[in-house]
Structure 1
Amino acid sequence: MFQLKNVTRQFGKKIAVNSVTFDIPQGQMVGIIGRSGAGKSTLLRMINRLNDVSSGSIHFGDLEVSSLRGAALRRWQRDCAMIFQQFNLVPRLDVLTNVLLGRLNHRSTVLSILNMFTREERIMAIGALERLGIEQTALQPAGTLSGGQQQRVAIARALMQQPKMLLADEPIASLDPLNAKIVMDALRDINERDGITVVTNLHTLDTARNYCERIIGMAHGRVVFDGQPRDLTAAAVAEIYGGGAQIEESMTSTSISIPAAQDNQKSAGVKPLALAGL
């Protein structure tokens, strides 16, 4: 069980996250939605400990994540992998090396400096790329890949950490609809096949409905909704995004007119968006 207890993060006089409390059972896929500035990214960065909490506590089982320092903190950041909107790859390095960098927290400092990866680690990296359908890019510089391919490389790198939890901060915000669907399909596959807890910030309602078994809505740093997709009513959406917000759920990143997407959207009650010439 993963737990946040009255977690607050303050930057000067600004409260970015305000007394947030919730539990996440192992193996759940959770989508966090809300307007820009609602506190979503800050929340994920505190979970990964890229930001410290101002008050409150974060726990993973018996481990108090919010108090970790030194080697214990590095182990947590290995076990809690993070995927970013801007990929955070090294553009001049080839794809395979970028993926292998996910092993750094499993290795000694000396081996990391010498870039000495084992044959088993290289096989593992190729397997991660094959799983994500981009093994043919292994020797290309990462900077030559499309955005969707780069995000899949970032996911492969995260898999190399063998994490217990996977955080994704707006992983599809800069992607076209087809690549966004591929990336979300990959995250769902990791969640379902490997049993890894996935928590992802999303800016599109249909994506949260279609992919996440639980949705948390944030507004002004607080949690204002926590429930299943079917509970996300018009009134709940208005509370998350503001009463005057006009939300057109079909105009979103993963609504594309291919059969699989249409089937998912029909089951969720969401109208698909046809994109000519995709």
Structure 2
Amino acid sequence: MLEIRNVTRRFGKTVAVNGVALEIPQGQMVGIIGRSGAGKSTLLRMINRLIDPSHGSIFFAGTEVSSLRGSTLRRWQRDCAMIFQQFNLVPRLDVLTNVLLGRLNHRPTALNLLNIFSREERAMAISALERLDIAQTALQRAGTLSGGQQQRVAIARALMQQPRMILADEPIASLDPLNAKVVMDALRDINLREGITVITNLHTLDTARNYCERIIGMAGGKVVFDGAPEELTREAVRMVYGADSDGAEISEAITSTSIRGEKPRKIAARTALKPALAEA
């Protein structure tokens, strides 16, 4: 269970996140929606501890991650993998090496300094690339790949961390609809097959509805909606996105990416997997 207890983050006089309180059980796939500046990215960065809360606390499995320091903080950032909109790969390094960098917090410092990876780690990296259907790019420089391929490399790197949670900050914002679907399909597959909690910031309502079992809407740094996709009514959308300059409701068409996930299959797959996950 991830518990966010009345968390606030200020930047000077600006309140980016304002008194957010959430509980997210293990294994959920959660979409956070809202306008730019609503506080979505700041919230994820506080969970991962890239920035600290100004007030409040964050707990995971009973541990207060908002107070961790040193090696325990590094372990948390290993367990809570972060995927960014701009991929954060090293363009001059080959794809395989970029994926292997996900093992850094699992290894002694000396091996990291010498850039020595074991045969088992290399096999893990190739397996992750194969899973994402980009193993053929392993020896290419990361900077030569398309945006969609680079984001899949970033997901493979996150898998190498063997995380307990994945945070994805606008992972499809810079991608075309086809590549966006590939990336969202990959995140959902990880959520279903490994039972890993996935929390992703999204600008697009159709994507959130099709891929996420729970949607959290933020506006002005606060949570204004928290529910299932079918509960995201016109009134709820208005609370999240407000109205245009003429007072008319925001059209959902402006947030559409034409991504169509296979939601019935997702629900069926989750139902079938739950007994297996429980036994594991």
CA deviations over 1:42-98 (Å, ceiling 9, x no partner): 000000000000000000011101000000000000000000000000000000000
Partner of 2:240: 240
Contact in 2 for aligned 1:204/1:249 (Cα 8 Å): no
Is 1:206–1:250's contact at 8 Å kept on the other side of the alignment? no
1:165 equivalent to 2:169? Answer no
Equivalent residue letter for 1:43: L
1:185 equivalent in alignment to 2:185? yes
Q: Kindly indicate whether residue 202 of structure 2 is the aligned counterpart of residue 196 of structure 1.
A: no
What amino acid does structure 1 have at the position aligned with 2:250? Answer: Q
AA partner of residue 252 (structure 1): S
8 A Cα contact 2:91 2:141, kept in partner: yes
Q: CA 1:38 to 1:262, structure 2 compared with 1: closer, same or farther past 3 Å? A: closer
1:98 matches 2:102: no
Please list every run of 5 or more consecutive structure 2 residues that lacks an aligned counterpart in the other structure.
267-280
Separation of aligned partners in 1, 2:166 and 2:10 = 24
Aligned to 2:207: 207
Q: Residues 55, 263 of structure 1: CA spacing in aligned structure 2 closer, same or farther, 3 A cutoff?
A: closer
Q: Does the Cα contact within 8 Å between 1:206 and 1:249 map onto a contact in 2?
A: no
1:78 & 1:31 partners in 2: Cα distance? Answer: 21
Q: CA–CA distance in 1 between the matches of 2:222 and 2:71?
A: 31
Q: Which residue of 2 aligns with 1:150?
A: 150
1:203 and 1:251, CA in 2 relative to 1: closer, same or farther beyond 3 A? closer
Query: SS of 2:9's equivalent?
Result: strand
2:205–2:255 CA contact under 8 A, matched in 1: no
Task: From the superposition, tell whether residues 209 and 249 of structure 1 become closer, same or farther in structure 2 (CA, over 3 Å).
Answer: farther
CA shift, 1:195, in A, is 0.3
CA distance change for structure 1 residues 263 and 46 in 2, over 3 Å: closer, same or farther?
closer
Deviation, structure 1 residue 247: 2.2
RMSD value, Cα: 1.6
Is the alpha carbon distance of 1:194 and 1:148 closer, same or farther for their aligned partners in structure 2, counting shifts above 3 Å? Answer: same
Indicate the SS of the match to 2:86. coil
State the partner residue of 2:24.
24
The number of residue pairs the alignment matches comes to: 262
Three-state SS of the structure 1 residue aligned to 2:57 is strand
Residue pair 2:95, 2:140 contacting (<8 A) in 1 also: yes
**Equivalence for 2:43:** 43
Change (3 A) 1:57 1:112: same
CA distance in 1 between partners of 2:262 and 2:38 (Å):
31
Aligned to 1:223, what secondary structure does the other structure show?
strand
For structure 1, the residue ranges without an aligned partner over 5 or more in a row are 268-278
Q: How does 1:75-86 map to 2 (within 5 A)?
A: 75-86=75-86
Q: Which range moved further: 237-246 or 91-100?
A: 237-246
Which amino acid in 2 is paired with 1:247?
Answer: S
**Percent identity of equivalent pairs:** 76
Q: TM-score of the superposition, structure 1-length normalised?
A: 0.92
TM-aligned CA deviation for residue 262 of structure 1: 7.5
Q: 1:236: Cα distance to partner?
A: 0.3
Q: 4+ runs of 1 displaced by more than 6 Å?
A: none
Counterpart code for 1:146:
S
Q: Distance in 2 between matches of 1:264 and 1:162?
A: 26
